Every structure is written in C-alpha cells, then in structure tokens.
Structure 1
Amino acid sequence: MTRTFFGHPWALATLFSTEMWERFSFYGLRAILATFLAASPAQQGLGLSEETATAVVGVYGALIYLVALPGGWIADRILGPRRSVFWGGFLIMLGHISMAVPVTSPFFVWLGLLLIISGTGLLKPNMAVMVGRLYPPEDDGRRDAGFSLFYLAINLGAFFAPLVVGWLAAGDRWHLGFSAAAVGMALGLAQYVWGGRHLRGIGERPGHHLSPAERRHFGRLLALGLAVAVIGLAGWAWTGTLTIDRLTVAITVVILITPVAYFAYILLGSHNLTEDERIKLKAYIWLFAAAAVFWMIYDLAPSKLLFFARDHTELSLFGIAIQPATTQSFNPLFIMIFLPMFAALWVRLGTRVSTPQKFGFGLIMVALSFVVMAVAAGLAGAGRVSVWWLVLVYLIQVFGELSLSPVGLSVTSKLAPEAFKGQMLGMWFISFAVGDSIGGQTGRLSRVLSEPAYYLVLAALAVVAGVALFVFTRRLRPMMAEHHEPAMR
C-alpha cells in the first residue's frame, strides 16, 4: 500500500515540514526584530529610533517579496526548484546564525538580514512550485486540497514562532531568540534532505536550462550589477551622507518604481496584446494599488503594533503573563480558525460579490482595525490598556486579509495577459513589497502626529481606497469580464 499524508502523496509531508520550519524561523525573527533594533546598546540592541526600526522592518519585508522574482528565475533557468529550495534554506540558516553571534557590532545583523533575504528569494516561490508538481495537471481538486495543507504549515510555523522565540528572547536575550530561528531552519533543512527520496525527481531540473553562452551572459550581467551596487554604496558612504534612514528611503523609491516601470512596459509596448488583455490589465492596476494600501497597514504588525504591545498594553492573557512578541501569534491563530469559513462563504456567494467588492471590504476592515487602534492609543495616554484591544485589532484584520489575499492570486492569474502569466503572479507579490516599504516609512509620521492621529490618518487612506473600489465596481466588472450572478430566491 502506498504511504500517504492525509490522502496526499507522502512527499507533501516533506514539503509541509520544511515550510513549517522555514516559516517558524521567518516569523520568529520578525516577532522580535523591531524591538531588538530599537533596544539600547545597554539592552544588547542596536539603539535605533523606533521610526528607523519601523523603516528597516518595512524594507526587510518588502525585499523578501521582491527577491521572489529573481529567485523564481534562477530556479527556472539554472538550479531547478529542488536545489533552489535547499540552497535557499542553507542561506537562511546562515543568516540566522549570523544574527545569533553575540557581539555588539551591527555588521553580523546586517549580514544576517541580507542572507535571509537572499535565501528566502530562492526558497519561498519554489516550495509552492514543488507542491503543485506533486499532482497530475488534471487533478485540480486534490491540488487545491494539498495547497490548503501547505497553507496550514505556514500558519502553524507563524503561530508557534513568536511564542517560542519571544520567550527565549525575553530579558534582552535577543541572540538566543535568533538562535532558535536558526535551529528552526536547520530542522527544516534536515527534514528536506532526509525526505528528499520521496520527491522522486520532482523539481530536479530547471524548466528552461540556460545554454553555456546564456550562462556566461548572465554571469557578466550579475557581476556588473553587483559591482555597480557596491561602487554606488561605497561612493555614497564616502560622501558621509549615507545613513540607515536614507538607505531605507532609497530602497523604497526603487521598489515603487518597479511596478510602475513594469506596467508601463506591458501597456506601452506591443507584445501582441489584444485590446481585451489591455483592458483587463488596466482594471488589475486598480486592484494592485488597493492591495498595496492594504499591506501598507496590515504589515505594520511587526513594528508599530509590536511597539504598542511592548509600551502600552498589560501583557497578560487569562492571567498568564506574555511577551510583546506573543501578540504576533494572534494573526495566524485567527487565520487557521476562520479560513475554512471564508472559503465556504466565497463558494456560496459565487459571482454575486465581485472581486473589487471583496478588495473593498478588505480595505474597510483594515481601516476599522486602525480606528480601534486609535481608540486604544487614546486610552493608553492614561496608562496601559488591556492586550485584548490588540486581539480585537488582529481579529478584524484577519477578516480583511481573508477577503483580499486568497482572491488576489486568483484574479491575477485571470487578468494577466497570456504572454505574461508567470511574471504577473510574481507581480502580485510586488504589491506586498510596495505596501511594506511605504508602511515602514509611515513611522516617521509619529514625529508630527499623535499616536491616535497616526492610526486615523492611515485608516482614512484605506477607507478612501475601499470606497473607491465600491464606487467603481460597475466600471471595473466589465473591464475584468466579470459577470454578475443574480441573487437566489
């Protein structure tokens, strides 16, 4: 009898465990990174301002998503998905080890973050590719169920990581927390190598292997790009004007230019696009911008909301003391609880609720969560508030995420021009990068706005974006070739 994993190929167990441990390492680091960066040197931290720490966390999250594009290309053209996952995990492990080195120099911290970003670009997109290849092309039902299990692995890792890493890092034991993240990735890597025999050749070969001439051309371009980057940074440092703050702003500008240039490249070039494809792409740009606004607010959880948990809440749940990082576990817990309900809801509603309306609802929910944050911040002026305020905030945000995030990949695939199907799926993740990078820069508003006003300004921006989608739904649906299904009587 063939061994299975909940009725799926046993190889899924290998990928499930690898992804769970990789997400454990990622979310474990994310749960303490901002507070570590902002902690004083006396507390074994880097001593950055909260605004700078927020910007760094935002850019770090943005680059994680941005490098998925070159990571997917390297797998398709050079390494193949299987080796890309291995070397990506290896780089991630080295990055966490670098951050765990108990020295006061920030060099190992920045080196560690750079290694983790590079490794995640290789690992993250290719894990999903390998899950998809476990099933024959016509087996859509089992493939969807397999991805649901894979999504569970992500959220299990995300749920337990802040609990474990936050507890270990308490009392300024930051490097012990980073060590736990390194151990998590090492366990995932060991599981991946040990279970590799079950993959039976899946993902071993690149989809389109580069010829020797193409490899040399790629090598020259890579070397040139790295040289330009190093020389540019060295020249900037030589002027004496290079700071962490300015570097995060420069990276944010580059990230913002990326989708603008890409959409212009598609729309302004011929590429044999039909008129129908151009119209659909124009509709997609609206959804892309809306998603970026959503992630701008949603992904402030590991920075602004983490600082609020540390400084302004009574860190106790049911009489049990918790760490600030523990609050980062609320989100994945709610996702695991409510995901099946939302999946069933969308099936039941069918096309009666349009994609722009789902996006609009997601934006209204994330706006409402920051209205709640504004109230909590106002009350915190008189003393610490209950951590249940943050529980409510994350609950509302999850309702928004489940309305927008799962729909986003689907609509991207639907609206992408035929010649750009694969690339456009990567562009969906660029919306995360745009949102994260801008969100990181919003921390600077705290210099001129009170805490309640800060949350209300971002909430107002999300409301405007959400209302715009509702108002223009009738225009967008025909552009998307999305038809309204009358309500059942």
Structure 2
Amino acid sequence: MEEQANESDIKTQPKPARTFFGQPVALKTLFMTEFWERFSYYGMRAILLYYMYDATVRGGLGMSVQLATSIMAIYGALVFMTSVIGGFISDRLIGSARSVLYGGLLIMFGHILLSMPFKIAGLYGSILLITLGTGLLKPNVSETVGALYAPDDPRRDSAYSIFVMGINLGSLMAPLLVSWVGQSYNYHAGFSLAALGMALGLVGYIRKMKSLPAASQVAPDPLPKALRQRYLKRTGWGLVGLGLVLGGFALTHHLTANGIVLGLTILGVCLPIYYFIVMLTSPKVSAVERRHLKAYIPLFICEVLFCLILEQGGVVLALFAQDQTQLQVGSWHLQAGQFQSLNPLFIILYSPIFAWLWTKLGTKQPTAATKFAWSLIFSGLSFLIMAIPVLMVGTARVSPLWLVASWAILEIGELLLSPIGLSVTSTLAPTAYKSQMMSMWFLGNAAAQALNSQIVRFYTPQNEVAYFTIIGGITIVAAIIMFALVPAINRQMQDA
C-alpha cells in the first residue's frame, strides 16, 4: 500500500518547466526567429553591393561604385530608421508579437522580389518591403525578449547574450552559402536563399506565437480611437505631401539617387535627436526616468561611433575584399562576400570567453559606460590596422589575414557594446516608451549608416591610408572623452 501511494505521488507531481539554456522556453522561439531573419538579411547584404555595381552582362545592375556604396549604406540606415515606425505600431496599436509576424512577412516578400529579374524596379521595391518589415520585426523581437523577465531578474543579461548568439549564427551561415551561390552561379539564386530563410523563420514563429508572454500580445500604451483617426489623417496627408514633393523634383529633373540619399542622410541624423527631445519633454516620463534618459545619451553616441566603423565592414571592407585581397588560397577560391562571415564568427568564438569573464568578475566587472568606452578603443584600432598593408604594398593584393585581424579586433568591441547595449536600453526605457526606446537603440545604427552614406564616397584606392587612419583616430579620441564621462554616467544610472 505504501509503495502504491508513493507511485501515485510521483505520477501527480507536476513535470518540471521546460527551459532553454536555463531560460524560459519562449526564448527559443525568439532565438530561432531572429536567427532566420538575420540569415535572410546578411545573406542578401553579402552580395547586394556586388550585384549593384557588377556589369549587366554578368547579371549585375551596372551602377557606379560610388552610387552603389552610398545606396548600400543608406539602405542599412533605412532598415534601422523604420524601427521607429515599428516601435510606435507595437506600443500603440498591435503589440510586439503581431508586429514581429507582419514584419517577417514583409521581409520575406522583399527577398522574393529581389530574387526575380526585375532589375532596378526589383531593387527599390525590395528595399521598401525589407526596410518596413525589419522596422516592425527587429525592435519588437528584442523587446519581447525583455518581456520574458522581471526587471530585477538576474538572467536578463545572459538571455540577451544567448539571443545575440542566435543573431550571429544566422549571420555566420548566410554569407558563406549565399555568396557561394550568388557570386559563383547567379545573384538571383542567392537572393532566393535569403527568402527561404525568412520563410523558415516565420513557420516556426507562427507555430509558437501564442506561447509568448501575454504582455507582448497587446499594445502597452494603446491609442484611443479618436487619436487613431487623427494619426491616420496625418499619415495620409504626410504621404500626399511626400508624393507632391517627389513629383516636383521629378518634373524639374532633380529627383536623383544621390539627392534622395542626401535627404535620407539628413533624416537619419535628425530622427534620433527629435526622438530624444520628445521623450525628455514627455509628461509620461517621470523625473527618475528622465535622469536615466540623460545617462543614456552618451551611451547612444558611443553606439553611433562604433556602428560607423562596424557597418563599413559591408561596404568599404567589402570593396577591399573584392579588389585588394588575395582570394585564391591554395586550391580554394574564396568569394569576396564570404568575408562577411568573419564578424559573426569572432562573436561566436569570443562570447563564451566574455560570458566566463563577466561571471568571474561578478559585481567587480566594469560598468556599462566603461565597457562602451573600451568598445570604441577596439573599433578604432580595427581601422588603424587596415592602413598597414596599404602602406606596405600600395594597391597590390594583400593577404586575407589582414581582414581577419581587423574583424578579430573589432568584434572584441562589439561584445563590449552590443549585448550590454540591448540590456541597458531595455532597463533604462521609460514605461510609456518600452518598444520605442528599443527603437532608439537601432536608430543609433541608422544614424551611423546615414553618415556612412556620405563618408564612404571618400574611399578610393588612392587615399586608403588617410581614410582608415582618420576614422580610426577620431574614434579613439572619442573613447578617451568617454572614459572621462564614466563617473557622471554611473551616478545617473546607479538606481537603474
């Protein structure tokens, strides 16, 4: 009888809750969704620059290198600028869970459009769909990760580190596969792989969407019906005004690709400034939250400077890989786009080391502000090192190990900034601006790439040494200034 009672007790005991590396199992759904979204984006990005300036007889669009690099940079800026729209839609209309779903669908259709032989029309149509889709998906999938935890849950930082690992696994695989297909066989076949990746991510997300936190299923600050009508009218009139302006430029023959890129550059720089002003003056933001926002501003500037160098990996270093790097290594011929896998490769290699280091240091580890300052040191060094081979051999092709070394240094900086930045942004966000604050983090990258759309025009084989030295040197000077500001930033963040 006693044995039967014990067996009955065992049967009625609840099964232990499923986890994902010690985290809530819902993190796995978000991990895989972001894995496939990054696979699709970085796969497309690995070959897009070459597709734009390659000759039409080889399947490219035949653009000038200067225009292609500017479009590449402003495309990256647009991807992150639209995160403001995605944050607003999530916070005030549909919640983060549905925002991720609709964003993924737009991204998938954008890659499908690019995979078809529609040339310039296909390029611009895909840019529109992918930028809008990424604006909906990217900030909201990151914010949903934060929604899995209480504000004081010690697992938050490690959860974001796991989440960033998913990003980088997708980013690692994509350039290797998509560049091999796109540059060896056919660009459109490569873009098709990107579309397939996003489709796979959507299938998994839709299956598990209902298991995400209840808070992600609704808008945290819903827009009243009366205000909805007002915003719809404003949006409609804004679109009409934009159409009239563009039409006027077209009629007067001033609607050029370079003119549009310049206008978007100005927008990319001004948008985060405007957004900070809105939040700092909002009556919905408390005095304590306002102090946290002020502490966040220098961290945001650090992010812009870091991303200015990071995002040139897909533009300036991509050109360097194609034009000045030895691509034949023994019997193995590398595709230039495959060097884009170096970024996520080093993040994956370094992540366990940094995880061990922060655990080992515990409460003695550097503060977020100090980590950001060090990230600028490493990013500046990554560009300074690229001046060395050019000084040694001029415009001749150099060993691919120089690019490997540059990315190896840069990714130390990224691990000091990226996962910590996501966590700090979520922690310092005012309650009324949760998703929109996460959008601010991505606006830092947008501002950097908007600036890059003008800066990369100065990169030529004749001025490479000056280019790498000036940008790298300015970043290191900014790091020294940041170190001086660390004590004041720490005081403003001490209760966060």
User: Is 1:149 aligned with 2:169?
Assistant: no
User: Is 1:84 aligned with 2:99?
Assistant: yes
Inter-partner Cα distance in structure 2 for 1:330 and 1:383: 22
Inter-partner Cα distance in structure 1 for 2:428 and 2:217: 31
Q: 3-state DSSP class of the match of 1:80?
A: helix
Q: 3-state DSSP class of the match of 1:140?
A: coil
Q: Which residue pairs with 1:312 in the alignment? A: 324
User: Is 1:401 aligned with 2:401?
Assistant: no
Q: Which residue pairs with 2:9 in the alignment? A: none
Greater shift, 311-320 or 246-255, is seen at 311-320
Greater shift, 90-99 or 35-44, is seen at 35-44
Q: What's the CA shift for 1:349?
A: 6.6
Q: Which residue pairs with 1:114 in the alignment? A: 128
Cα gap change, 1:353 to 1:138, in 2 (>3 Å) = closer
Would the aligned equivalents of 1:43 and 1:172 in 2 still touch at CA under 8 Å? no
Q: What's the CA shift for 1:313?
A: 0.8
Cα gap change, 1:93 to 1:208, in 2 (>3 Å) = same
Alignment of 1:198-277 (within 5 A): 198-199=211-212, 203-266=216-279, 274=287
User: Is 1:284 aligned with 2:299?
Assistant: no
Would the aligned equivalents of 1:283 and 1:480 in 2 still touch at CA under 8 Å? yes
Would the aligned equivalents of 2:71 and 2:453 in 1 still touch at CA under 8 Å? yes
Inter-partner Cα distance in structure 2 for 1:416 and 1:4: 27
Q: Which residue pairs with 1:486 in the alignment? A: none
Would the aligned equivalents of 1:10 and 1:198 in 2 still touch at CA under 8 Å? no
Q: What's the CA shift for 1:71?
A: 0.7
Alignment of 1:61-140 (within 5 A): 61-103=76-118, 105-133=119-147, 135=148, 137=150, 140=153
Cα gap change, 1:468 to 1:7, in 2 (>3 Å) = closer
Cα gap change, 1:263 to 1:84, in 2 (>3 Å) = closer
Cα gap change, 1:332 to 1:186, in 2 (>3 Å) = same
Paired letter, 2:144: M
Percent identity at matched positions? Answer: 40
TM-score normalised over the length of structure 2: 0.87
Q: Which residue pairs with 1:293 in the alignment? A: 305
Q: What's the CA shift for 1:445?
A: 1.4
Paired letter, 1:95: G
Would the aligned equivalents of 2:181 and 2:189 in 1 still touch at CA under 8 Å? yes
Paired letter, 1:51: Q
RMSD, aligned α-carbons? 2.9
Would the aligned equivalents of 1:373 and 1:455 in 2 still touch at CA under 8 Å? yes
Q: What's the CA shift for 1:260?
A: 2.4
Would the aligned equivalents of 1:53 and 1:303 in 2 still touch at CA under 8 Å? no
Would the aligned equivalents of 1:92 and 1:185 in 2 still touch at CA under 8 Å? yes
Inter-partner Cα distance in structure 2 for 1:58 and 1:458: 16
Aligned partner of 1:454 among 463, 467, 471: 467
Would the aligned equivalents of 1:300 and 1:440 in 2 still touch at CA under 8 Å? no
1:99-125 per-residue CA deviation (whole Å, 9 max, x = no partner) reads 11123x301110011100111111122
Cα gap change, 1:132 to 1:259, in 2 (>3 Å) = closer
Unaligned runs of at least 5 residues, structure 1: 484-489
Cα gap change, 1:362 to 1:171, in 2 (>3 Å) = same
Paired letter, 1:468: I
Greater shift, 220-229 or 156-165, is seen at 220-229
Query: How many aligned residue pairs are there?
Result: 480
Inter-partner Cα distance in structure 1 for 2:253 and 2:115: 30
Q: What's the CA shift for 1:408?
A: 2.5
Q: Which residue pairs with 1:189 in the alignment? A: 202
Would the aligned equivalents of 2:103 and 2:132 in 1 still touch at CA under 8 Å? yes
Cα gap change, 1:21 to 1:273, in 2 (>3 Å) = closer
Aligned partner of 1:165 among 168, 171, 178: 178
Cα gap change, 1:147 to 1:482, in 2 (>3 Å) = closer
Aligned partner of 1:343 among 327, 337, 355: 355
Unaligned runs of at least 5 residues, structure 2: 1-14
Inter-partner Cα distance in structure 2 for 1:352 and 1:171: 46
Would the aligned equivalents of 1:312 and 1:380 in 2 still touch at CA under 8 Å? no
Inter-partner Cα distance in structure 2 for 1:416 and 1:80: 16
Q: 3-state DSSP class of the match of 2:475?
A: helix
Paired letter, 1:61: G
Q: Which residue pairs with 2:376 in the alignment? A: 363
Cα gap change, 1:209 to 1:195, in 2 (>3 Å) = same
Would the aligned equivalents of 1:67 and 1:117 in 2 still touch at CA under 8 Å? yes
Inter-partner Cα distance in structure 2 for 1:475 and 1:47: 51
Q: What's the CA shift for 1:3?
A: 5.3
Q: 3-state DSSP class of the match of 1:353?
A: coil
Q: What's the CA shift for 1:342?
A: 1.9
Alignment of 1:466-481 (within 5 A): 466-478=479-491, 480-481=493-494
Inter-partner Cα distance in structure 2 for 1:8 and 1:475: 34
1:144-199 per-residue CA deviation (whole Å, 9 max, x = no partner) reads 54443322221111000001100110246111111110111111112222344655
Q: What's the CA shift for 1:371?
A: 1.1
Paired letter, 1:307: L
Greater shift, 236-245 or 350-359, is seen at 350-359
Paired letter, 1:256: V
Q: What's the CA shift for 1:360?
A: 2.1
Cα gap change, 1:331 to 1:416, in 2 (>3 Å) = same
Inter-partner Cα distance in structure 2 for 1:8 and 1:409: 17
Would the aligned equivalents of 1:378 and 1:451 in 2 still touch at CA under 8 Å? no
Q: What's the CA shift for 1:253?
A: 0.4
Cα gap change, 1:266 to 1:157, in 2 (>3 Å) = closer
Q: 3-state DSSP class of the match of 1:203?
A: helix
Cα gap change, 1:262 to 1:325, in 2 (>3 Å) = same
Q: 3-state DSSP class of the match of 1:91?
A: helix
Would the aligned equivalents of 1:54 and 1:441 in 2 still touch at CA under 8 Å? no
Q: Which residue pairs with 2:4 in the alignment? A: none
Would the aligned equivalents of 1:162 and 1:328 in 2 still touch at CA under 8 Å? yes
Q: Which residue pairs with 1:428 in the alignment? A: 441
TM-score normalised over the length of structure 1: 0.89
